[in-house]
């Protein structure tokens, strides 16, 4: 899974932001687990947050599938933002465009290609 190419700074920033967003979301919604531990909505929200954490961790590690998960995660947020107004849709769409630009450009694509790993 390790790439032979140095991780671009933008990929590092995106990975860390995804981890922080996922962890902060889990912490924010932790009180809801106490109130309704098996409510389907909180389970779904927590699952989406865990997916964000996984996308961040594995993006940092250079897993190609993780960058696609990161893009899908943000696209999902664009879609559900329709429930909260056009300003939220626009904000998430801008984030999706920026994340897509930085994760799909050539320097990043090279990082996400499998490389030679040193023998241990």
Please write the tens of the pLDDT for every residue from 2-18. 556 899 999 999 999 99
Residue 118, phi then psi, degrees to nearest 5: -65, 145
**pLDDT one-digit tens code per residue, 96-115:** 999 999 999 999 999 998 76
pLDDT value, residue 63 = 95
- Is 46 a domain residue? yes
Band of the pLDDT at 119, cuts 50, 70, 90? Answer: very low
Half-sphere exposure in the Cβ direction for 90 (13 Å, CA): 3
- Is 2 a domain residue? no
Torsion of CA 26, 28, 34, 35, to 10 degrees: -130
Give the chain's domain count: 1
- Is 80 a domain residue? yes
SS3 at position 82: coil
- Is 4 a domain residue? no
pLDDT value, residue 43 = 83
- Is 97 a domain residue? yes
- Is 71 a domain residue? yes
pLDDT value, residue 2 = 56
- Is 21 a domain residue? yes
Structural domain of residue 91, as residue ranges? 9-111
Cβ–Cβ < 8 Å for 22, 42: no
**pLDDT one-digit tens code per residue, 35-79:** 666 677 888 888 999 999 999 999 999 999 999 999 999 999 999
- Is 117 a domain residue? no
Tokens of 83: 């429930």
């Amino acid at each position: 899974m390790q790439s032979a190419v140095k991780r671009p700074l933008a990929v590092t920033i995106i990975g860390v932001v995804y981890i922080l967003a996922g962890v902060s979301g889990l912490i924010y919604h932790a009180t809801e687990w106490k109130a309704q531990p098996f409510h389907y909505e909180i389970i779904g929200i927590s699952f989406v947050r865990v997916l964000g954490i996984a996308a961040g961790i594995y993006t940092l590690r250079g897993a190609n599938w993780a960058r696609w998960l990161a893009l899908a995660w943000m696209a999902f947020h664009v879609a559900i933002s329709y429930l909260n107004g056009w300003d939220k849709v626009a904000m998430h769409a801008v984030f999706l465009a920026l994340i897509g630009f930085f994760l799909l450009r050539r320097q990043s694509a090279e990082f996400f290609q499998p490389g030679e790993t040193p023998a241990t």
